Amino acid sequence: MTPSVATPGGSLILDSEGLARAVLRDRDVMEWLALARDEDMRVIASAATLIEVVHPRIRRPALEWTLSRIIVEPVTELIAGVAIALLSDAGLHGHRYAIDAMVCATALAAPGPVTALTSDPDDLARLCDGRVTVIKI
């Protein structure tokens, strides 16, 4: 983990893996969340991310506790439009990239600078086109 690349202030966005690992209290993700708190960063997730994270084996109390400590941003028509533009600009389409595009659109709408924790750094970096610091977890 290299938390020093996150800039004070701004936002930290979690993709589905970031959120899932936060629910599991993964050490690396918890260090990022502590850094975000110390640096007054907003910790956010797209509402679309919740759809990926929830499954029958997830511990619902742990999920609810985690969600109570972050901001869940809705997927609005504006966010959807930005996601569509990001997909188009990157030459991508389809369900494989849809939620990543919504995560990136949400990140780009957040107060910057923005750092994204993801298990899929290549797709997020391609979609965000250098406007978000993408960290592989």
For residues 126-133, average pLDDT: 96
CA within 13 Å, CB half, 107: 28
Residue at 108 is within a domain: yes
The CATH number of whichever domain residue 80 belongs to comes to 3.40.50.1010
Q: Which residues contact 120 (CB under 8 A, 6 or more apart)?
A: 15, 17, 100
φ, ψ at 46 (rounded to 5°) = -75, 145
Per residue in 102-129, pLDDT tens? 999 999 999 999 999 999 899 999 999 9
**Residue 21 belongs to what domain range?**
3-54+71-136
Domain count, the chain: 1
In Å, how far from its chain's centre is CA 79? 14
Does any domain span residue 59? no
pTM confidence score: 0.90
Q: Are 107 and 133 in contact (CB under 8 A)?
A: no
CB count within 10 Å of CB 43 equals 20
Residues 16-57: tens digit of each pLDDT: 999 999 999 999 999 999 999 999 999 999 999 999 999 888
